A and B are shown apart, each in its own frame.
Chain A
Amino acid sequence: GQQLNQSPQSMFIQEGEDVSMNCTSSSIFNTWLWYKQDPGEGPVLLIALYKAGELTSNGRLTAQFGITRKDSFLNISASIPSDVGIYFCAGQGNFNKFYFGSGTKLNVKP
């Protein structure tokens, strides 16, 4: 199947810092999604991107759909303790399924 490379694998930051994570693919995607997962819970959709170059914000979160359609990034500004969790990117090509990245584990020190 398709491989999504998500980085970094984990991050340890201080409360108030900005965070950036990204995903790259060898294939073109038509849709990029960003999810957050808390322990024992299902992923929760944060941002959906449907067009190359699209830049979308959701509160302190901003995500972009790369121009090449092979990458996406997620930024979190002014992090707070409740941002702790695992962030997953997911991409969909021409088929009715999403491929997920391996996740970025975010730790925020108060």
Chain B
Amino acid sequence: EPEVTQTPSHQVTQMGQEVILRCVPISNHLYFYWYRQILGQKVEFLVSFYNNEISEKSEIFDDQFSVERPDGSNFTLKIRSTKLEDSAMYFCASSVRNGDGYTFGSGTRLTVV
């Protein structure tokens, strides 16, 4: 069964450092998303991406965040200057169409120290 692949599975970074979280969505999917989940809390929307541009973003997705699809397969989330409160699980997801059920990756656990 096709999967969304995320790397790394766990990243520890110093506060103020930049991190790049990587995702390989399912190959025939056209819509890509980043969500995050702070430990013990619900899954929160960050950003959706379609046709090489952001289609929606939440208030969490401020100027410190950016997304990119640098080639035909990868979809990355960059956090420019990490803060302690950025510590969370970050999930990438993809879907064929807008409104379809997403397939989520297994997540990257980001720990900012």
Contacts and interface: CB of A to CB of B under 8 A. Distances in A.
A31 to B, nearest CB: 5
A105 B33 CA distance: 25
B67 to A, nearest CB: 14
Contact of B58 (A30, A90, A97): A97
Given A48-B100, A95-B56, A96-B98, A41 B106 contact: yes
Contacts, number: 59
Interface residues of A, number: 25
A66 interface: no
Given A97-B45, A97-B48, A98-B45, A50 B104 contact: no
Contacts of B104: 35, 42-45
Contacts of B42: 88, 100-103
Given A88-B43, A98-B102, 17 more contacts: A30-B99, A33-B101, A35-B104, A41-B107, A42-B4, A42-B91, A42-B93, A42-B106, A48-B100, A50-B99, A90-B43, A96-B48, A96-B98, A97-B33, A97-B45, A97-B48, A103-B42
23 contacts: A1-B45, A1-B58, A31-B99, A33-B101, A33-B102, A35-B104, A40-B107, A40-B109, A41-B106, A41-B107, A42-B91, A42-B93, A42-B105, A42-B107, A44-B104, A45-B102, A45-B103, A95-B56, A96-B31, A96-B98, A98-B45, A99-B45, A100-B43
